Structure 1
């Protein structure tokens, strides 16, 4: 990680003022206050792994408030933030929800007014796409400011993975970074889905169950044995009940699984990082049991065979490239 700011070597009288300016001007506008008489100390390190921005905050006790005005000025309503506590404790309020997060726990907050009181300690903060989380878990208000406990095995898995990703991130290629970051987001969503299922109102339980099922499908698309009975066992409901929940939303479980596999396969067919992979390998990696089955379903969906789809994408990319100027003209510009 790269150090963005540190109070090391800064006179104690100026430390908190400089920290506040750094946070408000370079990160997000907020009202920051010291809560005790201890000289303020703080450090922030950042790293980018694929599209995932991860910050490591460590500082002494502090209160942070994002008001309606500062949220409006921030303008980042398309993001949510996972705060993974490493040491110390957070107490936060957002809307009508209050959460306490200790070492090993994490919480997710969205771009709404909130108040944080943080004891001396450190945390990783992950900047995440709100749309992707809401597609799997429903509106962010359902999971915002909800403590996801370290007692859950899925939380331990997500936390360990993210910490290791930070440690080795600078050794990954750009393509690997993007893929590993996506896996990290999926692990966080799976852990959130498990936590949501624990204490949700009965009226929303069906929605949460479907979202948990979708998160499980995303994490296991390449498993060729994935089917509705296996999915029902994974989310802890009967197959009949799971089928009813999908039918209520106008879907069949099997159709949804195949649609997601086809969407993933289509993305890989046009991904330059997958250009060296044969159609057969892409088919198996997307959960299809045979290349013929893949080709038939793909053509039914897209009107082209996988090979034709890949070739059309390459031709489009070639046509979209700007033409090079003649060397003699380039030299004059």
Structure 2
């Protein structure tokens, strides 16, 4: 099996650039890696901003921090720098305003904005800002999230109910990638993010409350599993109780993916153990310690199920990653 390589990661900052050149620098960088835009800032000292990017293959993730500023994708820039993507921007800090077409949205921290980059827009931040941005090709978004591109920007509130659960989970997922990009699973992160976005969008536009509720139950269950993988006593009944449903109902929800709760627990333990074995920072731990960290009480059982899952032993995977 080929060794999994960490997703490419890049980071820039305007701090090392003379203030008079910061806007040009920021615009040129974004045109090359994200989207063509025009940036304006009236802050004393000029624009101060940083951007981190993780290439997850089919989608890209960016974390942007900065002082108050406005970005604009004008009709001219949309023609000069075409971009056929859907952006999902999760605002974490600063109030913001967003214009596209005839729509104007006021955006507060914790709210998610989904919009089409083929059309001109303006995005402004009134204070020190921070956001997580998911860049999804339109064709992929149509296939995996929702069939139609939003005709106008969609703002998703994160106040109560399933929307709050889904928003918190999306933030946790994306922020976790930015904290440890080298440990990110470039295959699973887009799928998990898409599942969350689909549930949020369907819940927002109405007519799919059952789908959103199903997604929220599964999300809570998966989150509980990931947070308790170290516990060898973790069982399906505990997961169902945390999700607020019966074990029979939770297994019925997971059955749509061809799995039971117990199989999901085992799969996540194996995935995390494989990630640990490939991580250079964890080479000081023995294979037995890795197994214990991920909730396997028996090293023999761990070795057996690991080989069945990855077609190699834990030691072989570690050796391949070192090589």
TM range (shorter): 0.5 to 0.7
Of the three residues 255, 260, 268, the one matched with 1:252 is 260
Q: Which residue of 2 aligns with 1:44?
A: 48
Label 1:288 to 1:211 Cα distance change in 2 as closer, same or farther (>3 A): same
TM-score (norm 2): 0.61
8 Å Cα contact 1:295/1:306 also seen in 2: yes
Pairing partner for 2:67 from 53, 58, 71: 58
**Alpha-carbon distance in structure 1 between the residues aligned to 2:103 and 2:217:** 21
Q: Cα gap change, 1:254/1:294 in structure 2, threshold over 3 Å: closer, same or farther? A: same
Which residue matches 2:290? 282
Task: State TM-score, norm by structure 1.
Answer: 0.60
Q: Structure 1, residues 57-82: CA drift from partner, whole Å, max 9, x if none?
A: 3235x4634769739946585x9554
Q: Secondary structure at the match of 2:131?
A: strand
Radius of gyration: which is bigger?
A: 1
Q: Which runs of 5+ in 2 are unaligned?
A: 1-10, 56-60
Flag structure 1 segments of 5+ consecutive residues without an equivalent. 170-175, 319-333
The question of 1:291 aligning with 2:299 is answered yes
In structure 2, C-alpha distance between the alignment counterparts of 1:209 and 1:127, rounded to whole Å: 25
Q: Please report how far the alpha carbon of residue 4 of structure 1 lies from its aligned counterpart in structure 2 after TM superposition.
A: 0.9
Equivalent residue for 1:88, pick from 95, 99, 110 = 95
Checking the alignment, whether the CA contact within 8 Å between 2:91 and 2:111 is kept in structure 1 is yes
> For residue 105 of structure 1, what is the aligned residue in structure 2?
110
Partner of 1:328: none
Aligned partners of 1:308, 1:202: CA distance in 2, in Å? 46
Q: What pairs up with 1:226-237 in 2 under 5 angstroms?
A: 226-237=234-245
Matches of 2:224 and 2:83, distance apart in 1? 32
Deviations 1:178-224 (A, max 9, x none): 45999xx99x96xx68x939756235233454345334434443343
Contact 2:183-2:275 at 8 Å conserved across structures: no
Q: 1:71 & 1:238 partners in 2: Cα distance?
A: 53
Provide the secondary structure at the position in 2 that maps to 1:26: helix
Residue 156 of structure 2 aligns to a residue whose secondary structure is coil
CA-atom RMSD in angstroms: 5.2
**Per the alignment, do residues 71 and 5 of structure 1 end up closer, same or farther by CA in structure 2, a change over 3 Å counting?**
farther
List 4+ stretches of structure 1 deviating above 6 A. Answer: 5-9, 49-52, 66-69, 140-144, 153-163
* 2:124 aligned residue (118, 121, 124): 118
**Residue 36 of structure 2 contacts residue 77 of structure 2 at CA under 8 Å; is this kept in 1?**
no
